[in-house]
Amino acid sequence: MTTRLTHISLFILAAAATAQATPQTDERDKVKSICHELQYLNLLKGKLNNKLPTSSPAISELTTLSKMWTLHAAQSNSHGRRCLLLALAGRADEELERLKGSQQSANIPVTEALELITKHIGYVEATKQTAAMKVSHEDTQTTSPGGGTSVELNFKVVAGGSAGCDLDAAGRATSHPFDDIDIDKITQLKLTDATKIAGIMKITKLTGTSLSSGCPSVGQVTHISSRLASCQVGAGASWTWTATPSDTTAAQTETPVFKEDGRTTSCKEAHKQVTETSPTREKLAQKLCFALKAAAPKPASMKNFKGSTLAADKTIRRIVRNCNPDFHELDDINDDQKARKLVEYITTAYGDDVNDFVRNFITKLEEDKVASRLDAKPENKRVNDLISAANVVSTLSHLEGLRIKKELEAEKKNTVATPATDLAKKAIDCKGEKDETKCNEKDGCEYKDWECKAKVKTTAGGTDGKTNTTGSNSFVISKGPLLLAVLFL
């Protein structure tokens, strides 16, 4: 019966021990010595460094899209389309600014934690070196005291002891090794405590043998006098030093990072007792708490947008309103009722389907070439070949130069209204061209409203299309074959 009860008791104890084990306790118990602590902290540094990206896929994507929309806006001859592209570029730039700011804010606690971890690693490495010290006698020749009744022994601390653990060339603890850590399971860390350093050093024993006589027989001894008592030390005596390996776990303290496994308590509350004068390990745990809770911003990809999404965006509304003269009279873009026509226009223009938006404002523009001049001769290039800052600026300056040249040429000409027959013929010629760049380069054509059209020329003259004959205070507006004279009296 007694044996059976014993077995039951052992089973209950084992079950209780198993029940107490959690992923969090398993993570904490990876640290079994100062060597494990060093390995753990170095792995932790690597994990935290991975939370400090200098960029991100979202930032790279937005940067590319912004440059692409800006370049195509500069090349477009359609005022409406140019405004739509500038609005997209502005929205991308705004999101870029927000993302970078959020990323920087999230990086601050991580950086602070890394600084304290690095500081603590240096401290632990010094402690490990100290733990590997031992006591020895300084055998350098000195002059002994006179009188024949006193003696001096010169002790010193030297290397060659044992810290009780070792690290291999890869920085892993040789006993009870582990390959990785899980920062999502951290609730406590075993950290070396400065106030417990003395506890790691164990006894170094000096044993004298072959003494002449008079040493105490077997019995209890304490201080030096009782140990040496009446020992007679002869010339044949020998001495042996025996250093006990240090116990580095004696200097480690379980330091809470989170108050509970679920990490529900705020870091501010969990570490409210920590001040500037608190021990480094406590400040480290506090900063690590904030660092592990710091979340990287999660942006929404503009590749998932569509017309209605963009029409609801205040940045898009504002830029299109400011850029497109059709909406200059709109004073409140936030009032959906007042901005109804603007919302409808944006929704339709971008396409109220994700596939339409991506096809017309991303995929197609990635393939369409932009007029650029990076070297001696102008050439058409895809946006991906112009993505560097220097290339973007060079391309924008080239496109602006082409625009200025056209304006200057237009000023020199006394443009005559295009006959309807010529306009119809030109419309047929232009309609066949699908490429925006080639369309704009074609004589009498312009890319407008997503298609190549005949450019409608207007007259600067009077009713005969040559000279203003209506007087100095009148002008003629011509569109197509119709001439409308407006006279200001």
- Res 311: pLDDT: 95
Residue recorded with tokens 């140990």 = 227
Rounded to the nearest 10°, the torsion over CA 368, 371, 373, 378 is 110
Tokens matching residue 377? 């001769």
| Count of CB atoms situated within 10 Å of the CB of 85 | 23
* Residues 6 or more apart whose Cβ sits within 8 Å of residue 478: 417, 458, 459, 465, 484
Nearest CA among 401, 374, 370, 382 for reference residue 75: 370
- Res 336: pLDDT: 92
The partner residues of 447 in beta bridges, in order of sequence, read 452
- Res 2: pLDDT: 54
pLDDT, tens digit, 9 for 90 and up, residues 129-163: 888 888 888 888 888 777 666 777 888 888 888 88
List of the chain residues with pLDDT < 70 = 1-20, 54-55, 147-149, 414-423, 425, 457-489
- Res 4: pLDDT: 57
Residues 113 and 285: beta-carbon distance below 8 Å? no
User: Residue 469 to residues 294, 368, 463, 482: CA-CA distances in angstroms?
Assistant: 75, 46, 7, 17
Residue recorded with tokens 């500037």 = 276
Domain ranges of the chain: 202-215+226-245, 414-489
What is the DSSP annotation of 352-404? SSHHHHHIIIIIHHHHSEEEE-SSSS-EEEEGGGS-SHHHHHHHHHHHHHHHH
